[in-house]
Structure 1
């Protein structure tokens, strides 16, 4: 009997010794603006490498959609918006753990199908008859920036479609569903030769600032703050800069 018990204990200890270590956290959920998909995916991989056992899950969408989800109770640890206006809504809803901090800025550029067949060279050209234009909806940061430029220039745009995320605008240009679109310089850079990018000076009058914050109901506030710190670190700045984001 004693030998049998000792044998079972030995097997149990052997199995325990072969088992992987317990994960330090259950995971991290980050709600981030669609224009951050490439950079935050890379930062998420970096975070997981530095914090073994912690899985980072992202929800990328238009900032206005993300705020709506969060205020309706969607669980998340970190929120990064593409403008201060939508972050202000999160603050007003009392769902943030502390004051948001700015970590990047972005500006609009015109994108067309490769070769720029319509010969677009300026913001005003987007209003030319017969030009099929796609923009972000006004409540989305990229759409608000476009509306601000419209007002400043007096150019009245007539888009054929208003999208809920900047990535949707880009997608319609890449697939040839429209002649031109207004997206962030970072999105145009990520698309490479799938689009032609046309910079315009008026874009400098509508720069979007990106804030980030830990959410009040974060399941793991410590890990959430560590992710925010990574985004704002020298490594984070390097990744963001390489994608075309400017410093705040």
Structure 2
């Protein structure tokens, strides 16, 4: 398995968190699974898109939600499936190999930092990434670099939660008079405004994805179980403040929404993700 991951304390912490959560992530991430499926839908149902020859690169393969879709939808293209966390790459590889891949083009796997892609021998036909962009330190520079590594006529296909996500969390913090400690998320309007003028075609879609939990504490436990608990917002709540936030949120919560978390059968609070699907054709 190839690797290019350098030494970066922040990236190391992210990789370790996701690595520890690899087994539980696959079972407790229905939203991420849904978004991977939607990204492929937007990519393949777009304006008559046909990928040019070349390899497909996936950045942030995780446990393989998007990987499986890429392998099935583009059997004639070799696929390079990568993640920052070695345990995620291993899980993805084992899942795909166990299912069997009767396809003419090969698969390869690697531990790769998506913000430090090595130059490919040949430009990629497609670079795809689902729910990884929000972990990048410089998303705009990274997307610029990715576009330079895509062959003319090829695409970038990205799914990510935007900065509009978690309005209920923000509201609970305001009512509790506590800082909002969620990690910063990409501003999709800035990304579209930056890259739409630079590409042949820009397709953007979004949807609200309300997930429901029995109480506020369960939402934070779920984040930790997914490996997404690493805080880089610069704000940290004390245990007492966190308990105060949970109480305030629970007391004001109402049952609503349509997208139910698969690991809970009943729901009392709603936490909404704003999912964005961005496809850029060079």
Normalised to the residue count of structure 2, the TM-score between the two structures is 0.30
- Taking CA–CA contacts closer than 8 Å with sequence separation of 6 or more, which of the two structures ends up with the larger relative contact order? 1
Q: Which has the larger radius of gyration?
A: 1
More helix as a share of residues: 1
Normalised to the residue count of structure 1, the TM-score between the two structures is 0.33
